[in-house]
Amino acid sequence: MRTMPVLFFAFALALPALACSPPKLSTPLADVPKLTSLEQVMDNQATVADPQWKKIGETNYTDADFTAFTEVAERIGVTSLKIKDFSKGPEFDALAMRLNEKAKALGTAATAKDAAAAGAALKEMKATCKECHSKFK
């Protein structure tokens, strides 16, 4: 009977951590056009992009990094076009298109395994995300 209070206590400690964890959504790319909310689109972006932000500023990347960058580029490329379905005006749409352009640059850099260009594209993508969030979130 003593295990029940211990389990309850462990659950109670874990619950806030679960509630604060970032969203995880990895909709198949072909289904992204079917998403019905901006939140779903943002969650898809955050799932792949957020882990890559910590790599900004590095001078060398592994093959696994370049593979991850390719995935980020593909997902952000598709989701940034979907963002416009939830437009908040011309400036919002322009930021979505800038994000799309930076995603293409990241994809090109990842394919070429160009660390400097990949790092720059990541930095610019994050800056675009931050700018949009500061204006529209």
The pLDDT, as a whole number, for residue 12 is: 46
Cβ neighbors of 92 (< 8 A, separation 6 or more) are: 83, 132, 135, 136
The pLDDT, as a whole number, for residue 25 is: 83
Cα separation, 80 vs 50, in Å, equals 15
pLDDT in tens, 11-69: 444 444 444 555 688 899 999 999 999 999 999 999 999 999 999 999 999 999 999 99
Distances 69 to 47, 60, 75, 79, 122 between C-alpha atoms, Å: 13, 13, 10, 15, 9
- pLDDT category at 5 given cuts 50, 70, 90 is low
Task: Express as a percent the part of the chain with pLDDT over 90.
Answer: 80
Cα separation, 2 vs 14, in Å, equals 19
Show the tokens assigned to 65: 């990094």
pLDDT in tens, 76-100: 999 999 999 999 999 999 999 999 9
pLDDT in tens, 113-123: 999 999 999 99
Cα separation, 20 vs 4, in Å, equals 25
* 24-136: in CATH 1.20.120.10: yes
The pLDDT, as a whole number, for residue 24 is: 83
Q: Where are the domains of the chain?
A: 24-136
How many CB atoms lie under 10 A from the CB of residue 56?
Answer: 16
Distances 87 to 90, 101, 102, 131 between C-alpha atoms, Å: 8, 18, 19, 15
The pLDDT, as a whole number, for residue 16 is: 45
The pLDDT, as a whole number, for residue 1 is: 54
